[in-house]
Amino acid sequence: MGFGEALRRFFFGARPDPVQQRQFTQIQQLVSWREQKLGGVDRKQALSIPAVLKGRNLICSIATLPLVAKDLNNREIPIPLLTQHDPNVPNVVVKSQVLEDLLFDAVSWWRVTGFDEYTRPSQVRRYDNSTVSFDPPASYQAGYLPSGNAAEGVIWMEGEEVPFDQVIKFESPNPGLLDVGYRVIARSIALDDVADLLAANPKMRGYFSPAEGVDPGSDEEIEEMLADWQEARSQRIDGYVPASLSYNPIQDPTPSELQLIEMQKRNDLNLANMIGVDPEDLGISTTSRTYQNAVDRRQDRINTVFAPYMDAITDRLNMPDVTRPGLTVQFKLDDYLRADPRTRVEVAEKQVAMGALTVEEYRQDEGKVPLPPAAAPSAASLEPRRVTSTLGQQEALSD
């Protein structure tokens, strides 16, 4: 190796191996070809990627949190819309559908199907985004109005004309994942397809060569020997190689397969960043983090991941055409942020001592029935009492 080659290696490293470089190029070409063939992706294709499905399920876990309306005194006021959104669908399903729409398309639609005594919506039905349009359907007949134009202030939902005042539109502050992340999703699908292709057409993992001075045999004998080898390996892990043969294993896994694995990991990390969730929530190992207990991590998840979607729903429901003045709609986070039993008792003791909470309110928060009147502790019973011991000394006892 001359001085020039040594200098080049010092600054730029060794030259890539031609065989490995060709394998890398083939993998990249397969992935790029499959990605171009896919073009755009729809929601069903996106959800076929485990990382996207896990991120979607994490975002939609917000649907398990109840929506409540509170007055100016922070008292919960039941309203029909929050009690049951759609009379035919559970609330958790309706909210999860809205959250999924906001994640993938940045918009979701409700049609009002009922009103309460305050002329506010009491029942709704969620419509798929593909069934909602600002343009009239092809079957719409011109001349429906004297002017020959469609009515203003209407929208078409499943081909039916609906006035704007009977529609609730939710919009996400984040761009839709299918709009800005279609390339990353298509790359994930392409990587999975290439991995399946390589698994269905595995490369040779080894080969036999005759020992020195041994007749290699005819083609028929070689085929018979390979068939016997394959049958023996199908029945047990280890196989027997005759003395007249040598088995030469090939590197496993190959550099191209290792590259494919790294490309999949990198793409999953990109998906986690685009969805906005912690990579570890998608099963991606990252560097160590600062210690957090369960409650702190849930609070951090609300602030950094859930808040945009939660506010997109509550801000729209708090508009005057949905909720009457004096009430505020919000997600109830008490159960989600509930600490462990010991911590809750310690906090409740301090709140009771300072008069911010009563025993009855604490039992209600814990989901316990009220104490019977005879069992309820009186103020006098909570005071320390003095008794005289057998030694004539006073000891402080308390209940």
Radius of gyration, CA atoms only, the chain: 34
**pLDDT (0 to 100) of residue 196:** 74
Digits of tens for pLDDT over the chain (399 positions)?
554 444 444 444 444 444 444 444 555 666 666 666 666 788 998 999 999 999 999 999 999 999 999 999 989 999 999 999 999 999 999 999 999 999 999 999 999 999 999 999 999 999 999 999 988 877 665 544 444 445 568 899 998 889 998 999 999 999 999 988 888 888 888 888 777 776 665 555 677 788 777 777 787 888 888 888 777 766 766 667 777 777 777 655 555 566 777 888 888 888 988 998 888 887 777 665 565 677 778 888 898 899 999 999 999 999 999 999 999 999 998 878 777 778 878 888 888 888 888 888 878 777 788 877 765 555 444 444 554 444 444 444 444
**C-beta of residue 194 within 8 angstroms of C-beta of residue 229:** no
- Sequence spans of domains, the chain: 1-139+158-205+250-338, 217-249, 341-374
**pLDDT (0 to 100) of residue 215:** 77
Please state, in angstroms and rounded to a whole number, the distance separating the CA atoms of residues 328 and 317. 9
Query: H-helix or E-strand containing 386?
Result: strand 385-388
In 10 A of CB 338, how many CB atoms?
A: 15
Q: What are the residues facing 207 on neighbouring strands?
A: 248
**C-beta of residue 242 within 8 angstroms of C-beta of residue 221:** no
Q: What is the DSSP string of 251-271?
A: -SS-HHHHHHHHHHHHHHHHH
Residue 330: strand, helix, or coil: strand
Owner of token pair 């399903």:
93
Distances (CA, A) of 174 to 40, 50, 69, 178: 20, 22, 25, 12
- For the CA atoms of 223, 228, 229, 234, what is the dihedral angle to 10 degrees? 130
Q: What are the residues facing 112 on neighbouring strands?
A: 124
Please state, in angstroms and rounded to a whole number, the distance separating the CA atoms of residues 97 and 100. 5
Query: H-helix or E-strand containing 275?
Result: helix 255-275
**pLDDT (0 to 100) of residue 241:** 76
Residue 175: strand, helix, or coil: coil
**Helix 91-105 with 50-60: angle, nearest 10 deg:** 130
Beta-carbon contacts of residue 191 (< 8 Å; ≥ 6 apart)? 31, 260, 263, 264, 267
Residue 382: strand, helix, or coil: helix
**pLDDT (0 to 100) of residue 397:** 43
